[in-house]
Amino acid sequence: MNIALIAHDAKKELMVQFCIAYCRVLSQHNLLATGTTGKLVSEATGLPIQCFLSGVHGGDQQIAARIACNEIDLLLFFRDPISAKPHEPNEMNLLRLCDVRNIPIATNIATAEVLIHGLERGDLEWRNIVNPPQH
């Protein structure tokens, strides 16, 4: 499955720690991420990650385009709910696209843990029908 990772600055370390904790599960999937988040996670875990631009430079929009084309199966988007973001309308578009394409999304670590355990159990295998793996 294709899993996208995005984290606001205040949540990047949390994303890194989450990915370290679930490295075994994540290693069985294709990972994509915005630039800085992907670099930090890859350096900490050794996982191969396809990195796009940083979020403020349009990386979140690049991931949104993949979501619109139904090429992402799961989005882990650790958001900072406290600080206002200048590109927040893009984030709403990202969330809307996930709803349109029925893509599971976690915006915090609590939901991410539920989804990662579901992924591990095979609960998200229905995405392979919607988005067959490319060989």
Catalytic residues: 60
Q: Is 36 annotated as belonging to a binding site?
A: yes
Q: Is 35 annotated as belonging to a binding site?
A: yes
Structural tokens at position 89: 């309308």
Q: Is 135 annotated as belonging to a binding site?
A: no
CA distances from 90 to 57, 64, 67, 110 (A): 12, 9, 13, 23
Q: Is 87 annotated as belonging to a binding site?
A: yes
CA distances from 19 to 49, 55, 57, 58, 133 (A): 12, 19, 23, 23, 22
Q: Is 59 annotated as belonging to a binding site?
A: no
Binding site as annotated, residues: 8, 12, 34-37, 54-55, 87
Binding site as annotated, residues for substrate: 8, 12, 34-37, 54-55, 87
